[in-house]
């Protein structure tokens, strides 16, 4: 890996990205909406009378809730459950968003015909893709982290610290700060693979969402499995995603045929 090349491409991609306002706004919209919804839910829960949570002994959910949230009681267990669902949803969004930036970064270069002088430089395909995908995941990651903190703020406004503590359990920190970047990288590499094989951004995005289904599927099941705190599981998931990223980078590099991309695109 040539660090100078990677840094040069990252710098340039970054400059271009921050000047593509519409793309950034589109990116920001989904997490923003999710945070608003989860805070709204929190607010409406807080307005319900205690009697609303006075569930009968026979209610099937109750034992499961109490197992998971222990001493929180029925009312706050429901809070915690809904919060955790929003957090999981936000995480999936975080993993999926970068794909549109990544496919834009590759197809855009084809459409604007900037590819030929770039490919005439000594930069290696792998370094190029790595740099592009790294910059592609940055904005969505930052948005995701901001959304996470906004959600925490929302929770602390309408619920007691015990409920907040659930949303701040170590597995959520790890999910947001370790697994989310790895998952985001996987999705943007998947987008890179799709983009280097097709000619217009829309097809690329369509194809990416197709590639993303198994990825997000794995992500969700990983999250579910992850709920039962287990450091060994965390280590395995991290390692697994990391290997997935490496494998995808290898495939993307192999499939990014410089010559075909240059000559089929007139």
Quick check: 118 binds another protein (CB under 8 A)?
Answer: yes
Helices (H), 70-124: 73-96, 98-111, 115-119
Quick check: 221 binds another protein (CB under 8 A)?
Answer: no
Q: How far is the CB of 20 from another protein (least distance, A)?
A: 7
Closest CB to another protein among residues 75, 104: 104
From 44, 46, 121, 221, residue interacting with another protein (rule: CB under 8 A): 121
Closest CB to another protein among residues 13, 171: 13
Are 189 and 126 spatial neighbours (Cβ–Cβ below 8 Å)? no
Sites for another protein among residues 14-43 (CB under 8 A)? 15-16, 19-20
Q: Distance between the two ends of the chain, CA-based, in angstroms?
A: 31
Looking from the CA of 195 toward its CB, the CA atoms found within 13 Å total 26
Closest CB to another protein among residues 169, 258: 258
Give CA angle at 72 (41, 158), nearest 5°: 35
Rounded CA-CA distance 188/102 in Å is 5
Quick check: 122 binds another protein (CB under 8 A)?
Answer: yes
The CA dihedral of 233, 234, 235, 239, to the nearest 10 degrees, is: 100
Q: How far is the CB of 118 from another protein (least distance, A)?
A: 7
Quick check: 7 binds another protein (CB under 8 A)?
Answer: yes
From 42, 114, 170, 205, residue interacting with another protein (rule: CB under 8 A): 114
Are 181 and 137 spatial neighbours (Cβ–Cβ below 8 Å)? yes
Interface pattern 235-264 for another protein (x via CB under 8 A)? -----------------------xx--xx-
| Residue closest to 90 by CA, chosen among 209, 214, 179, 197 | 179
* Count of chain residues binding another protein (CB under 8 A): 28
Q: How far is the CB of 262 from another protein (least distance, A)?
A: 6
H or E element: which one contains 216?
A: helix 201-226
Binding site for another protein (CB under 8 A): 4-5, 7-9, 11-12, 15-16, 19-20, 112-124, 258-259, 262-263
């Amino acid at each position: 890996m040539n660090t100078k090349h990677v840094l040069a491409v990252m710098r340039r991609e970054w400059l271009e990205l921050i000047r593509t306002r519409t793309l950034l706004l589109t990116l920001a919209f989904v997490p923003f909406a999710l945070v608003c919804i989860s805070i709204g839910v929190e607010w409406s829960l807080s307005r319900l009378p205690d009697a609303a949570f006075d569930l009968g002994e026979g209610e099937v959910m109750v034992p499961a809730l109490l197992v998971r949230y222990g001493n929180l009681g029925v009312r706050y267990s429901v809070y915690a459950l809904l919060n955790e669902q929003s957090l999981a949803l936000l995480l999936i969004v975080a993993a999926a968003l970068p794909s549109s930036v990544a496919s834009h970064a590759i197809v855009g270069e084809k459409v604007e015909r900037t590819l030929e002088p770039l490919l005439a430089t000594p930069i290696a395909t792998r370094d190029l893709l790595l740099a592009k995908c790294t910059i592609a995941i940055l904005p969505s990651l930052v948005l995701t982290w901001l959304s996470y903190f906004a959600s925490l703020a929302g929770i602390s406004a309408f619920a007691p610290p015990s409920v907040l503590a659930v949303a701040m359990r170590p597995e959520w920190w790890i999910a947001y700060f370790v697994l989310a970047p790895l998952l985001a990288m996987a999705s943007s590499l998947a987008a890179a693979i799709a983009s280097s094989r097709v000619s217009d951004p829309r097809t690329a995005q369509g194809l990416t969402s197709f590639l993303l289904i198994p990825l997000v599927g794995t992500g969700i099941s990983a999250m579910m499995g992850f709920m039962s705190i287990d450091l060994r599981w965390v280590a395995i998931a991290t390692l697994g995603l990391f290997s997935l990223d490496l494998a995808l980078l290898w495939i993307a590099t192999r499939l990014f045929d410089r010559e075909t991309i240059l000559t089929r695109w007139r």
